[in-house]
Amino acid sequence: MGKTLFEKVWSAHVVKELDGGMDVLYIDRHLIHEVTSPQAFSELEKRGLSLFRKEKMVATPDHNIPTKNQHLPIKEALSRHQVDTLLANCAKHKVELYGLGHPFQGIVHVIGPELGITLPGRTMVCGDSHTSTHGAFGAIAFGIGTSQVAQVMASQCLLQSRPKTMRITVNGGLKPGVLAKDIILYIIAQLTAAGGTGYFIEYAGSTIESLSMEARMTICNMSIEMGARGGMIAPDQSTFDYIEGREFAPKGEAFDKAVAYWKTLHSDQEAIFDKEYTFDADDIEPMITYGTNPGMGIKITKEVPLSLGKGSQESFNKSLAYMGFKPGESLLGKPINHVFIGSCTNSRIEDLRIVADYVKGKRKAANVTAMIVPGSKQVEQQAISEGLDQILSAAGFELREPGCSACLGMNEDKVPAGEYCVSTSNRNFEGRQGPGARTLLASPLVAAVTAIEGKIVDITKHLN
Partner 1 sequence: MDKFQKVISTGVPLPNEDIDTDQIIPARFLKATSREGFGDNLFRDWRYHQDNSPKADFVLNNETYKGEILVAGRNFGCGSSREHAAWSLHDYGFRVVVSSFFADIFKGNALNNGLLPVQVTDDFLSGLTSAIVADPKTEITVDLVNQKISYLGLSETFEVNAYKKECLIHGYDDIDFLINLKSEIEAYETSSIVV
Interface with ligand SF4 by CB under 6 A: which residues?
62-63, 107, 109, 128, 130, 343-344, 404, 407-408, 425-426
Contacted entry of ligand SF4, partner 1, none for residue 19, CB cut-off 5 to 8 Å set by kind? partner 1
Query: Strand, helix or coil at 329?
Result: coil
| DSSP letters spanning 401-448 | -SS-GGGSS-SS--PPTT-EEEESSS---TTTTSTT-EEEE--HHHHH
Q: Which stretch binds partner 1 (CB under 8 A): 93-101, 152-160, 324-332, 347-355?
A: 152-160
Mask for 384-423, x = binds partner 1 (CB under 8 A): ------------------------xxx------x------
User: Which long-range CB contacts under 8 A does 315-318 form with residues at least 24 apart?
Assistant: 316/291
399's enclosing H/E stretch is strand 398-399
Q: Which stretch binds partner 1 (CB under 8 A): 77-85, 173-181, 232-240, 387-395?
A: 77-85
Write the CB contacts of 309 (distance below 8 Å, at least 6 apart in sequence).
none
Site residues for partner 1, 426-445, by CB under 8 A, read 427, 429-432, 435-436
Write the CB contacts of 56 (distance below 8 Å, at least 6 apart in sequence).
27, 28, 29, 30, 156
Minimal distance, residue 237 CB to partner 1, in Å: 19
Query: Strand, helix or coil at 137?
Result: helix
- Considering the rule CB under 8 A, would residue 33 count as an interface residue with partner 1? no
Minimal distance, residue 145 CB to ligand SF4, in Å: 14
- Considering the rule CB under 8 A, would residue 305 count as an interface residue with partner 1? no
- Considering the rule CB under 8 A, would residue 129 count as an interface residue with partner 1? yes
| Conformational region of residue 305, where left means phi above 0, alpha means psi within -120 to 50, and beta covers everything else | beta
Give dist(CA 350, CA 354) in Å, integer. Answer: 6
- Considering only 4, 36, 67, 423, the residue that binds partner 1 (CB under 8 A) is 36
Evaluate whether 455 touches 333 at the Cβ level (below 8 Å).
yes
- Considering the rule CB under 8 A, would residue 157 count as an interface residue with partner 1? yes
**Residue 303 DSSP code:** B
Contacted entry of ligand SF4, partner 1, none for residue 158, CB cut-off 5 to 8 Å set by kind? partner 1
Task: Please say which residue, 239 or 428, places its beta carbon nearer to ligand SF4.
Answer: 428
Minimal distance, residue 92 CB to partner 1, in Å: 14
